[in-house]
């Protein structure tokens, strides 16, 4: 079973998937349409590229913020959270899920060398 398939079975996770680093392929499971999954993959990939660029800029400026190299990102809203590690994304409902459980699982399962491809 893939990382995203395992994530999709966790309590409170309503969708999880993975996208190619080129951005032309994606796979997912959960409660979203194929068009929504495509948009989610594009959003996650473009945000990951922006996060990596910003971390690399801080690194060039000599700021040792402890966030380089970047492995992913999280956006936590009132009701929902999106988290990305490597090329895996997860959408979860804050009331029914554990962000710590999801992030621990992602960090353990996704090899940190994957980000070199970004």
Print pLDDT tens along the chain (118 aa).
Answer: 899 999 999 999 999 999 987 767 899 999 999 999 999 999 999 999 999 899 888 888 876 777 778 889 999 999 999 999 999 999 999 999 999 999 999 999 988 765 555 5
pLDDT at 17: 95
pLDDT at 15: 96
pLDDT at 118: 53
pLDDT at 61: 84
Contact between 83 and 89 (Cβ < 8 Å): yes
pTM of the shown model: 0.86
Please count the helices (runs of H) and the strands (runs of E) in the chain: 3, 5
pLDDT at 18: 94
Q: Over the range 34-48, which residues count as b (16 or more CB within 10 Å of their CB) and which as e?
A: eeebbebbeebbebb
User: What whole-number distance in Å separates Cα of residue 110 and Cα of residue 94?
Assistant: 22
CATH number for region 3-117: 3.30.450.30
SS3 112: helix
SS3 111: coil
Read off the DSSP letter of residue 83.
Answer: E
pLDDT at 39: 92
């Amino acid at each position: 079973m893939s990382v995203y398939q395992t994530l999709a079975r966790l309590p409170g996770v309503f969708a999880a998937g993975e996208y190619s680093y080129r951005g032309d392929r994606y796979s997912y499971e959960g409660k979203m349409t194929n068009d929504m999954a495509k948009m989610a993959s594009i959003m996650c990939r473009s945000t990951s590229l922006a996060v990596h660029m910003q971390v690399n800029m801080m690194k060039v400026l000599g700021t040792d913020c402890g966030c380089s190299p970047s492995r992913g990102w999280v956006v936590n809203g009132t009701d929902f959270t999106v988290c990305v590690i490597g090329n895996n994304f997860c959408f979860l409902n804050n009331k029914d899920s554990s962000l710590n459980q999801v992030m621990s699982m992602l960090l353990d399962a996704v090899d940190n060398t994957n980000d070199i491809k970004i």
